[in-house]
Chain A
Amino acid sequence: MDHLVGLFQYDFLRHAVLAGTIVAITAGALGYFVVLRQLSFAAHALAHIGFSGATGAVWLGLNLVAGMVAFTVAAAIGIGALGDRLRGRDVAIGTVLAFVTGLGYLFVSQTTRLAGRATSILFGDLLAISAESVVVTAVLGALSVLVLGAIYRPLLFASVDPAVAATRGVPVRLVGIGFLILLAITVSTSVQVVGVLLIFALLVTPAATAQRLTAHPGRSLALSVVFAVVSVWAGLVLAVLIPWPPSFFITAVSFAIYLLVVWRVPSLGSPIARSSRRTVKPPSRPARDSLPAERPTSPLG
């Protein structure tokens, strides 16, 4: 343990812990809504578009995160403008996605500045985050959490039931675009930690795990954040002990938590989960042990 604590004197590790934690908190919190709104594919698309933004920025000699934010926010507004028509647009998004990712590869081929950077954009490089990037990540992260806190209730309403939310005066379209912009910013900062290709490990897996455990919105969001932070911290510790890339360990831990929960906890819709839902069960305890007498199924059920 002393060995691990001693490592904190190194800047690069302090940066890794700071940036990793901030990204985990924002990605875990936004992930709750990504899963609720079934926006996994949009998140995936934004990450790939971010790749072109990042490589384009480096090619032009600009800041990498700034380039990603510019590209992904523009794309988020475009996707958001599709609004309700987004459903069933997988083919259209996929088509644009392939072109934009190809553009990214063009940028890579046109400059020598990117030598080696392309891999770190694709897979993340948590141990190479500069002090400046930590500051940028902290500012964007704080901004995202603040805005999410401000739009939380209308966003939840619009995510769960857009038809009724609209009649109750929620600006459904606006809230949706606002969320996509937050998502774009979070995707851009997350890329430093886990990269374009592994972003689901922080943006989708923790939230999907949490939603399996509880249908209480606040608790689910908090659990999602906890799972994301635990994944990053455990991943970092493992990367210090074993000389493999931290991105791998982060995705592995995130996946392991997911597997454990899927294995141990029945899904929310199953009869077992129905009758024992009032308490959140820790994943280590089999749900069946704590079963109260099963409620008779309602004739309406």
Chain B
Amino acid sequence: MTAPAVRFADVAVTFGRRTIWREATFTIPRGAFCALIGPSGSGKTTLLRIILGELRPSVGRVEVLGAPPRRGNRAIGLVPQRGVLLDDLAIRARDLVMLGLNGHRWGFGGGNADDRRRVERALDAVGLLDYADEPVGTLSGGQQQRLFIAQALLDRLELLLLDEPFANLDVKNEHEIVALCRSVHREQGATIVVVTHDLNPVLNVIDHVVYVLDGRPREGSIDEVLTTETLSRLYGTPVQALRAADGSMFIR
């Protein structure tokens, strides 16, 4: 049996005297499509940083893909929060994706013919081949997200992490990002973890939820979490989980 994608066992994180959260015990199974939710400032990004091996927990044990988290694990892809690519950044889309392939290696040069083919395949997979020579800063928010997904697709992707991918995105772009994640999920069998404060875009595709409530990250099944009560507690304001006639859900 393969190890779960992510396992936290009684993990706590403190910065100085401040406890971000504690008693984090949850599992994200392999092949899950998981939403990681919680109010702003509840430490969602901290969870992500621990999974990426950028931060060590103060207490507890963490396993990612069956091993302690470490930087540079190429089976993990990250779609960072928006705004990391500056508007006037003079580097082409294909260069950014290429860096995902060779950017960690010392030296210079842009990769051989085989590398270039791999980059073009990845750009094609996210529908950005026509934009390969555009400066990344001129791409829209949704296109930039897809560019990072292309970067993640270069290697054998097992775990894709998306950090607030829907911030400042219109509905059409939301749909496209979700559709792309679903195809990565289906075709590569990758585990998808979406950190978001807005559940609606992924409400009908997720099969697992990790949520931070009262300073404690925990997991839940869809039926448990996506109720009017739990969500209202989670957001600290009354919200309603509604089911439309076709069976799809939304929250307002």
In the complex, which of the residues A152, A157, A277, A300 contacts B107, with contact meaning CB atoms closer than 8 Å? A152
Interface string of B125-147 (1 = CB under 8 A from A): 00000010111111110110000
Q: Is the interface of A mostly helix, strand, loop or mixed?
A: helix
Q: Is A218 an interface residue (CB 8 A)?
A: yes
Q: CA–CA, A214 to B92, complex, Å?
A: 9
Interface string of A203-234 (1 = CB under 8 A from B): 00000000110111110100000000000000
B residues 42-94 in Cβ contact with A at 8 Å: 52-54, 71-74, 76, 78, 80-81, 84-92
Q: Is A160 an interface residue (CB 8 A)?
A: yes
Tell me which residues across on chain A come within 8 A of B76, comparing CB atoms: 167
Tell me which residues across on chain B come within 8 A of A162, comparing CB atoms: 84
Q: Which of B96-104, B196-204, B207-215, B238-246 contacts A (4 or more CB under 8 A)?
A: B96-104
Q: CA–CA, A160 to B81, complex, Å?
A: 14
Q: CA–CA, A34 to B235, complex, Å?
A: 43
Q: CA–CA, A217 to B89, complex, Å?
A: 11
Q: Is A165 an interface residue (CB 8 A)?
A: yes
Q: Is A161 an interface residue (CB 8 A)?
A: yes
Assess whether A170 is in contact with B104, with CB atoms less than 8 Å apart. Answer: yes
Assess whether B102 is in contact with A168, with CB atoms less than 8 Å apart. Answer: no
Assess whether A153 is in contact with B106, with CB atoms less than 8 Å apart. Answer: yes
Q: Is B26 an interface residue (CB 8 A)?
A: no
Tell me which residues across on chain B come within 8 A of A298, comparing CB atoms: 131, 140, 143
Q: Which of A60-68, A122-130, A267-275 contacts B (4 or more CB under 8 A)?
A: A267-275
Q: Is B191 an interface residue (CB 8 A)?
A: no
Q: Is B151 an interface residue (CB 8 A)?
A: yes
Q: Is B228 an interface residue (CB 8 A)?
A: no
Q: Is B17 an interface residue (CB 8 A)?
A: no
Given the known interface contacts A152-B108, A157-B104, A300-B143, the answer about A166 and B89 at a Cβ–Cβ threshold of 8 Å is no
Q: Is B95 an interface residue (CB 8 A)?
A: yes
In the complex, which of the residues A149, A161, A166, A301 contacts B54, with contact meaning CB atoms closer than 8 Å? A166
Q: CA–CA, A120 to B139, complex, Å?
A: 46
Query: Nearest Cβ distance between residue A1 and chain B, in whole angstroms?
Result: 37
Tell me which residues across on chain A come within 8 A of B140, comparing CB atoms: 298, 300-301
In the complex, which of the residues B71, B80, B91, B173 contacts A215, with contact meaning CB atoms closer than 8 Å? B91
Tell me which residues across on chain A come within 8 A of B85, comparing CB atoms: 160-161
Chain A's closest residue to B127 (CB) is: A300
Q: CA–CA, A156 to B98, complex, Å?
A: 11
Chain B's closest residue to A220 (CB) is: B90
Q: Is A164 an interface residue (CB 8 A)?
A: yes
Q: Is B220 an interface residue (CB 8 A)?
A: no
Assess whether B96 is in contact with A268, with CB atoms less than 8 Å apart. Answer: no
Assess whether A160 is in contact with B91, with CB atoms less than 8 Å apart. Answer: yes
Chain A's closest residue to B137 (CB) is: A269
Query: Nearest Cβ distance between residue B82 and chain A, in whole angstroms?
Result: 11
Assess whether A268 is in contact with B110, with CB atoms less than 8 Å apart. Answer: no
Q: Is A163 an interface residue (CB 8 A)?
A: yes
Given the known interface contacts A164-B78, A169-B72, A216-B95, the answer about A153 and B103 at a Cβ–Cβ threshold of 8 Å is yes
Tell me which residues across on chain B come within 8 A of A143, comparing CB atoms: none
In the complex, which of the residues B74, B86, B88, B92 contacts A267, with contact meaning CB atoms closer than 8 Å? B88
A residues 130-167 in Cβ contact with B at 8 Å: 149-154, 156-157, 160-167
Assess whether A269 is in contact with B87, with CB atoms less than 8 Å apart. Answer: yes
In the complex, which of the residues B110, B134, B173 contacts A218, with contact meaning CB atoms closer than 8 Å? B110
Q: Is A116 an interface residue (CB 8 A)?
A: no
In the complex, which of the residues B52, B96, B105, B142 contacts A161, with contact meaning CB atoms closer than 8 Å? B96
Q: CA–CA, A267 to B109, complex, Å?
A: 26
Tell me which residues across on chain B come within 8 A of A151, comparing CB atoms: 106
Tell me which residues across on chain A come within 8 A of B80, comparing CB atoms: 161, 163-164
The 5 closest A-B pairs by CB, nearest first: A169-B72, A157-B103, A152-B108, A211-B90, A215-B135
* A-B contact sample (15 more), CB < 8 A, given A167-B72, A278-B133: A149-B107, A153-B109, A156-B99, A160-B89, A161-B96, A163-B84, A165-B104, A169-B72, A215-B91, A269-B87, A269-B138, A298-B140, A298-B143, A300-B173, A300-B176
Q: Would you mind naming 19 contact pairs between A and B with Cβ atoms under 8 Å apart?
A: A153-B106, A154-B104, A154-B106, A160-B95, A163-B81, A165-B99, A167-B73, A168-B72, A214-B90, A215-B91, A215-B134, A216-B92, A217-B91, A268-B137, A269-B137, A274-B134, A298-B143, A300-B140, A301-B140
Q: Report which A residues bind B (CB closer than 8 A).
A: 35-36, 38, 149-154, 156-157, 160-170, 211-212, 214-218, 220, 267-269, 274, 277-278, 298-301
Q: Report which B residues bind A (CB closer than 8 A).
A: 52-54, 71-74, 76, 78, 80-81, 84-92, 95-96, 99-100, 102-110, 131, 133-140, 142-143, 148, 151, 172-173, 176
